Homo-oligomer: A and B are copies of this chain.
Amino acid sequence: MILCDVGNTSYDFLDGERTFKKSVKDFNPERINQKVFYICVNAQIKPLLQKLDNWIDISVCVDMKKYYDTMGVDRIFACEAISNGVVVDAGSAITVDVVRDGVFEGGFIYPGIAAMQKTYKNISSLLDYSFNFELKLDIMPKNSKDAISYGYLKTLYGEVISHNMDIFLTGGDAKRFAKLFSDATIDKNIIFNGMKKIIKEADIC
């Protein structure tokens, strides 16, 4: 069984235990002859995949009423993977979603590392620092690098832990944020786990 999470920049595949990526720019999905169960947030790619008989969109198997209209299907499948907890997906944006007793309670969107660093730099060249992930979160900063790091990281950290739930980190920057959320579980495959659960429940494989 091949699973694929199609994003804005890449096709992320899981084939058995093996994960691999293909760029959306030059990968032709017709190259795969096996059955592929997929979800897709990419509006350009979606119509291409719908024409292929062996590519099966499993987003239709989820009860979308539990979520909201404009919510990315990748966030939805990450939520489907857990029964209780906060999913922090750290990529170009950071999405934070809360699931309690299998029910999606809501979520928010925060800028990713690169986007926020650019924001500070654009406000003033004096704020052009990379963030300090070793920052002590219980001490108010007394230098500019820590002042922006605290502004970016502590505010997010405080909100995430305020839910008093298990934290699941995923996305390209999961490891960097693991320095902050020391008790969090890093789960790079949380979306695939959600996909497997839905496939099993829908009994389509």
Contact = CB atoms under 8 A, between A and B. Distances in A.
How many protomers of this protein does the assembly include? 2
Given A108-B141, A142-B106, A155-B159, A123 B115 contact: yes
- Determine chain A's interface SS by DSSP, over half rule: mixed
A110 interface: yes
State which size class the interface on A falls in. 35 or more
A122 interface: yes
Nearest to A98: B140
Interface in A85-124: 92-94, 96, 98, 105-112, 115-116, 118-120, 122-124
B155 A127 contact: no
Interface stretch (A9-17, A146-154, A186-194): A146-154
A158 interface: yes
A120 B109 contact: yes
Contacts of A159: 154-155, 158
A156 to B, nearest CB: 6
